[in-house]
Amino acid sequence: MVEPASLGSSCEGQWRQQIISRMDFSGTIGVLLAICFVCLLYLSSRKKKNWSNLPPGPIPLPILGNMLQVEVKELIKSLRKLSETYGPIYTFYLGSRPCVVLSGYQVLKEALIEKAEEFSGRGDFPAVQMWSNGNGIVYGTGERWRQLRRFAISTLKNFGMGKRSMEERVKEEAQFLVSEFRKTEGKPFDPTFFLSCAGSNIICTLVFGERFEYTDEKFLTLLNLINSNWKLMSSTWGQLLFTFPKIMRHVPGPHRQIYKNYLQLAAFVGERLKMNKETLDPNNPRDFIDCFLIKVQQEKNNPNTHFNDETMSKTTVNLFFAGTETVSSTLRYGLLILLRHPEIEEKLHEEIDRVVGPHRSPCMEDRSRMPYMDAVLHEIQRYADIVPMGVPHTVTRDIKFRGYTLPKDINIIPLLCTAQADPTQFKNPGCFDPSHFLDENGRFKKNDAFMAFSAVSLPCREASLPGREPGHHGALHLPHHHPPALHPPVTGGAC
Ligand code: HEM
């Protein structure tokens, strides 16, 4: 072998050049080999996990998956766009995790309604899972989830139909809300804060047995925690946590606040559990927590029970969290939409004046005689589309679906927004048009493509929860409160 020191300076230059290019070459080979190795690992894991007959989708990169093919900030929009190329069912790699994306009413119906049991597993949602450890409803799984969910639905239903019915609670809260609005004396104001308080108070009366004043410091802290978590989950940091949970858990950043906020919410619920335990009268349950305490007592000799302090705390936080921002956002959208559509507001007033009149508050019985109000409420929920992606699901066993093999535990992303905007089900999907829920005789008409409530979210729907009630806030304040100062320029048409 020739030693470099024995060479002349020009040869030395050549030699260096050769070495450098050899190094470049071997470096390139190394990188290529590493990529091949990762690809092989990836392909063998596909085989092992039975990912070989998944629906086709965009070609993923190792580790990054399809994340370079979408805008992280606009994930839903990007997923919808991809469905234009790959159809109603395709595979999308969130990092190294394959997810089957379902888009459009037909495929969502086949999965979430016709094969509800098979698609009922909970998919990865690290922001919530980090904290809940599978112990609540929203991120529980298997038998525990089934039992907690069944218990929550029946308990909330009982409270809705109990002595002090849900209707009374909603009416009472609506009065508080209206009186806050009245204090503004017709001047422009931002109703967001009051709507959050009112929406949350409905669920508070069910879960904690009481409503809170809109000035209560503790209540306001809780609302801030919930609001902050919704924002963080929808932020780029939240999306990164969703995509790369294993890595992002260890990366510092604002997304870690999500976990801390949950702990604070749980601490508040913990205080309430303690208070309820000390004052519990098993013959006279006051709220959801009392009912849960009684259930824990009843099951204390069952070694396999799913009812304990841990599941009680997580389930209560779930209900409080899921029931707060959803309702207030819907109310806020409702107001905004009506401000943009004075002609629709006018028709609502006409119906309210005719059916309810000026001397009393509306009640549930009025609903069947107010088809226009019913249709507007449904259309607000469809158009506002506040939970566009639902929550990630999984399949509970290996299944054949539309000719593909979906292995147990594969993540499913149901794009609920695509059902609610499906042109085969709604004649003007991009427009706010109450006639989507009216028949030719002006009677209220259901539409199964209204996914948020028709297919999946049983606790929201069947427990007669406030998700169904924004109209009653609306109907209560509409006859008395016209805020002309807030009307934006009339846009014309219904879009
Ligand atoms: C306008 C109001 C609401 C909307 C649009 C809404 C929408 C949704 C959606 C889309 C899901 C996902 C369902 C799935 O994919 O399985 C869900 C789940 C859930 N929601 Fe709501 N929701 C609303 C109000 C409420 C309220 C008031 C509560 C309070 C009790 C609530 C409690 C829950 C719970 C516990 C789950 C988990 C259900 C399960 O695991 O099966 N929601 N909601």
Domains in the chain: boundaries = 134-385
Residue 104 backbone zone (phi > 0: left; psi -120 to 50: alpha; other: beta) = left
Write down the pLDDT at residue 468.
40
Atom of ligand 1 nearest to the CA of 140: 40
List CB contacts of 204: < 8 A, sequence separation 6 or more: 210, 211, 212, 219, 320
Backbone angles phi, psi at 73, to 5 degrees: -70, -25
How far is Cα of residue 232 from the mean position of the Cα atoms in its chain? Answer: 13
Taking the CA of residue 329 as reference, the ligand 1 atom at the shortest distance is: 1
Amino acid at 494: A
> Is the distance from the beta carbon of residue 111 to the nearest atom of ligand 1 less than 6 Å?
no
Q: Token digits for 186?
A: 């017709």
pLDDT the model gives residue 228: 92
Q: Whose alpha carbon is nearest atom 29 of ligand 1?
A: 323
pLDDT number for residue 484: 28
Question: What pLDDT does 459 receive?
Answer: 56
Residues in Cβ contact with 389 at an 8 Å cutoff, skipping those fewer than 6 apart: 76, 79, 413, 414, 415, 416, 417
Ligand 1 center from residue 459 Cα (angstroms):
6
Cβ of 323 below 6 Å from ligand 1: yes
- Does residue 456 line the site of ligand 1, with CB under 6 A? yes
CA distance 163 to 205: 13
> Which CATH code fits 134-385?
1.10.630.10
Pairing relationship of beta strands 399-401 and 393-394 according to DSSP bridges: unpaired
3-state secondary structure (DSSP) of residue 11: helix
Taking phi first (over 0 means left), then psi (-120 to 50 degrees means alpha), and beta for anything else, what does residue 314 get?
Answer: alpha
Residue with tokens 């030699």: 15
pLDDT the model gives residue 32: 60
The pairing of strands 393-394 and 89-94 is unpaired
Distance CA 181, CA 278 (A): 38
Q: What's the confidence (pLDDT) of residue 138?
A: 77
For the entire predicted model, the pTM comes to 0.80
Q: Residue holding tokens 């931002």? A: 190
Residue 90, strand partner residues: 101
65 in helix, strand or coil?
A: strand
Looking up tokens 């802290």, which residue turns up? 221
CA separation for the pair 304, 300 (Å, rounded)? 10
User: What is the C-alpha separation between 68 and 238, in angstroms, rounded?
Assistant: 17
- Other beta carbons within 10 angstroms of residue 377's beta carbon come to 25
Which residue from 149, 306, 389, 460 has its CB within 8 A of the most atoms of ligand 1, so it is best to mutate? 460
Q: How far is CA 25 from CA 1, 17, 18, 35, 181, in A?
A: 21, 12, 10, 15, 73
Q: Indicate whether residue 356 lines ligand 1 (CB < 6 A).
A: no
| Model pLDDT, residue 29 | 62
378 membership: H or E segment, kind and range: helix 371-384
203 CB near ligand 1 (under 6 Å): yes
Cβ of 332 less than 6 Å from ligand 1: no
- Angstrom CA distances, 47 to 52, 65, 83, 99, 206, stand at 6, 17, 25, 16, 49
Measured in angstroms, how far is the CA atom of residue 169 from the centroid of ligand 1?
20
The whole-number pLDDT of residue 22 equals 54
Residue pLDDT tens, the chain, 495 long: 333 333 334 444 555 555 445 555 556 666 566 555 555 555 555 555 678 899 999 999 988 899 999 988 788 899 999 999 999 999 999 888 899 999 999 999 999 999 988 998 888 777 777 777 777 787 777 888 889 989 998 888 887 654 456 788 888 999 999 999 999 988 999 999 999 999 999 889 889 989 999 999 999 999 999 999 988 988 888 888 887 887 887 888 888 899 899 999 999 999 999 999 999 999 999 999 999 999 999 999 999 999 999 999 999 999 988 888 888 899 999 999 999 999 999 999 999 999 999 898 888 889 999 999 999 999 999 999 888 888 889 999 999 999 999 999 999 999 999 999 999 999 999 999 999 999 999 999 998 888 777 655 555 654 433 334 333 333 333 333 333 222 222 222 333
- Residue 45: its pLDDT value, please? 54
Cross-strand bridge partners of residue 101: 90, 413
